[in-house]
Amino acid sequence: MSHHISPKEPWMKTPVELPELPWAKDALAPVISEETINYHYGKHHKAYVDKSKELIAGTELEDKTLEEVIIAAAAARPEKQGLFNNASQVWNHNFYWSCLTPADKSKMPEELKDLLERDFGSVEEFKKKLVDAGMTQFGSGWAWVVVEDGKLAIGKTPNADNLWTDTKKPVLVLDVWEHAYYLDYQNARKAYLDKVVDTIINWDYMLQNIKKYL
């Protein structure tokens, strides 16, 4: 997937490093267990960061932001496919953690409810379409909510791909790689997605992202 987005986008300034989680490792339990976070964040996410740093060490990308690294690697594929995969996975995970919040903080603002009703008919229909995107992503990947042409839309990408282009701006993402849910749900991807969407989405963060583009 090609990236046409300008590196001058104001949000494109993430360093290539493992960020702090926005909540304690046990804060999403029982929907996502501390054990899953220990593996998913502490092993998988960290490995993508370490590999990205290793691949840019001593190159012209060494001092660039994560977003600039992803754009450069996307433009140079297939030669830089490994760098793209690792750097893009770092970004997707950084974003995913911010999209989640402990259940007692997961309250949908009226303003967001109105937008979802405008673009999907109802909040229930939005949730159903988002879960469907996660379920119909064959194999590993991501389910996204984006702003496109002034409206909210849902999409999905395989593997490490993301959905930022000049016309699509990501406002929420769900991880449907097996390592995101297998310890807690085994092969029941739908149970994981339903629980996350119903219980631990950071709706305030999603609305904050939408407001950048509407």
Mean pLDDT by 10 residues, the chain (214 residues): 59 90 98 98 98 97 95 93 97 97 98 98 98 97 96 97 89 98 97 98 97 90
Domain ranges of the chain: 34-98, 103-211
Assess contact for 8 and 81: CB atoms under 8 A: no
- Enter the pTM of the model: 0.95
At 2 the pLDDT is 46
- What phi-psi label fits residue 151: left (phi over 0), alpha (psi between -120 and 50 degrees) or beta? beta
The three-state secondary structure class of 119 is helix
- What H or E segment, with its residue span, contains residue 117? helix 110-120
At 1 the pLDDT is 44
Fold classification of 34-98 (topology level): Helix Hairpins (1.10.287)
At 94 the pLDDT is 97
In 3D, which of 209, 133, 212, 147 has the Cα closest to residue 176? 133
The three-state secondary structure class of 141 is strand
| CATH class as words, domain 103-211 | alpha beta
Assess contact for 154 and 174: CB atoms under 8 A: no
Give CA–CA dist 64/214, Å, rounded: 28
Cis peptide bond prior to 78, omega within 30° of 0: yes
